[in-house]
A = this chain, B = another copy of it.
């Protein structure tokens, strides 16, 4: 086992000073060609690599990005991570991923762990419990310390920082409008409780489409499910048993596939008897039967933008307090769960 070699080791072996070695390795003009060659050859031979930790301590920069998300088994978050990784790695940053598992406490603990020097900035999406409580003190503390934060998807207006979202309201509006245009009138909305920022916006888009078309909304056609734990299949069953519905807009993939299966078991044909539109263009949607028309959220793009915003902030010397919110346009991907 050949342990890592340090500047000190090289200096000792070559009988020069540590600073000479350091300079020689950076090809400093101060050092003679002779010494430089000797040092560089030795360093290469023993595969010298500077210790990241020491550099971090010195520079007060870790080149690590902390990513805190509610869950990783959701395809959307997975694509965002991929986008973050892509941009971050290309710029010499590593990504530390922490999962809050939709828990406020875990979110707080993870952030505290990372905030003590482990990372240069945060990219995060709020846990549903956090949004429910409306307690953002852990975010405030971090930003007050001067650590840059970029929020994506599940955001809050209580915190001044950069943000990236898709236009959720418009996405839902667009989807609902399409269903209305195709002659559907009994359009159900399956969503979560309103404390989730994205669900709220999507519900607004749904309402807006109805208003514009001068159609009354039947409130009983809006079903709100919990994001935590297992999907409440029984409530979905009840919902379809007690409501007449000819189209469904769902705020996520899971709700959609569950619902589609239930109505198919009732003998309904998709899309003829009942149309479906979901959110998130993930694998579940793509490979569903019939394949699902969705409002695509462009997770990877979102991740790249978030990473770019964060790294820009981290690397900008100036302490300007200007924050921006980037709003990406969602796209309607037409597949076979809607007509034509």
A110 interface contact, C-beta 8 A: yes
Complex Cα distance A278/B325, Å?
A: 43
Indicate if the CB atoms of B94 and A95 lie closer than 8 Å.
no
A43 interface contact, C-beta 8 A: no
> A91-129 interface mask toward B, CB cutoff 8 Å, 1 = contact, 0 = none?
000111111000000100010111111100000000000
Q: Which of A73-89 contact B (CB under 8 A)?
A: 73, 75, 78-79, 81-82, 85, 89
A197 interface contact, C-beta 8 A: no
Complex Cα distance A54/B118, Å?
A: 10
A224 interface contact, C-beta 8 A: no
Q: Which of A2-58 contact B (CB under 8 A)?
A: 2-4, 47, 49-54, 56-57
Indicate if the CB atoms of B82 and A72 lie closer than 8 Å.
yes
Indicate if the CB atoms of B82 and A99 lie closer than 8 Å.
yes
In the complex, residue of chain B having the shortest beta-carbon distance to the beta carbon of A74: B78
In the complex, residue of chain B having the shortest beta-carbon distance to the beta carbon of A286: B257
A235 interface contact, C-beta 8 A: no
Interface size band for A: 35 or more
A64 interface contact, C-beta 8 A: yes
A284 interface contact, C-beta 8 A: yes
A201 interface contact, C-beta 8 A: no
A266 interface contact, C-beta 8 A: no
Complex Cα distance A2/B147, Å?
A: 11
Closest CB-CB distance, A309 to chain B, in whole Å? Answer: 19
Closest CB-CB distance, A77 to chain B, in whole Å? Answer: 9
Which stretch from A138-146, A149-157, A171-179, A207-215 is at the chain B interface?
Answer: A138-146
Q: Can you list 5 A-B pairs with a CB-CB distance of less than 8 A? A: A2-B144, A3-B145, A4-B145, A54-B117, A258-B287
Q: Residues of A with Cβ closer than 8 Å to B?
A: 1-4, 47, 49-54, 56-57, 62, 64, 72-73, 75, 78-79, 81-82, 85, 89, 94-99, 106, 110, 112-118, 141, 144-146, 254, 257-258, 261, 264, 283-284, 287-289, 319
